[in-house]
Amino acid sequence: MNIGFIGLGAMGAPMAGHLLQAGHAVSVWSRRGASADFLLSRGAARCASPAAVAAASEIVCTNVTGSADVEALADELAPGFAPGAIHVDFSTIAPSAARRIAARYATRGVDFVDAPVSGGSGGAQAATLAIMWGGKSALAIRLQPIFEVLGKTIVHVGETGAGQVAKACNQMVMVAAIEAAAEAARLADAAGIDFSKVRAAMMRGSAGSRVLEVFGGRMATREFAAGVEARLHHKDYALLLDEATRLGVPLPVSAAVGQQLNALMGQGWGQDDTSSLLRVLESAGQRGPAP
């Protein structure tokens, strides 16, 4: 297939690389030209603009930061799309933004698919992402050759915007678990007990989880350098809390976690790992430093 890819960061670059390796013709564009060099060396074609990527592709994939970024890209891509083309967005954005983009594209005969992913940069590199997508079910046949190259779990959740709702639910549970791990670490420390030993016991019990393994491990070793930048989880929480407000859905635990993420950002740790939620607790005047 002729596939376009825009958004060649920690997630997008390996995803585009997998598509190249699978034999697809991949056209790319990037605001920072150097970010595409690795893919160009493997056979990707550089385009001069997003519209040129759209003109060269039957499906264009994007993976950028937020709603405004995707909406701006959609405006730039639209003139290049031929009727029948598909824009697949792997970013995490507001469900309402996904629906707006889909409505604008519909007037051109172009389909929009919101397909946020879970698994982080490690999952992108290993092609083991969980892909939750929203859009017309009839598009599944055309999307399968892309999705099967990038992920292990592929779920069509519903119509446009449904993928973003699923991602919001995913982030809600995951980051709440990171906060819970941070609180467990803080309690263990206050009691004078080594959290690494507490965590080892928990991993064998009913609290064992991927979050406790990865983020709890970073707390135990105090390795707060970015694995997952906390600013991205902060952005995701703003989106899900906004959606909850729009729908009138009470989310008391998520609201509290959102405030902890606000505090983390206020401390200037947004580019550090989300395990820094432990440092937020430590900086609240309790025993123990927050270096």
Determine the Cα–Cα distance for residues 287 and 281; give it in Å rounded to an integer. Answer: 10
CA 93 to chain centre: 9
Per-position b or e across 137-167, b if 16+ CB within 10 A of its CB: eebeebbeebbebbbeebebbeebbbbbbbb
Determine whether 167 is an active site residue.
Answer: yes
Three-class SS state of 17: helix
- What the block records as the tokens of 277 is 């939620």
Choose, from 136, 167, 197, 235, the residue flagged as catalytic.
167
Q: Is 224 within 8 Å of 273 (Cβ atoms)?
A: yes
Residues 6+ apart with CB under 8 A from 93: 66, 67, 70, 114, 116, 164, 239
Q: How many other CB atoms sit within 10 Å of the CB of residue 113?
A: 26
Active site residues: 167
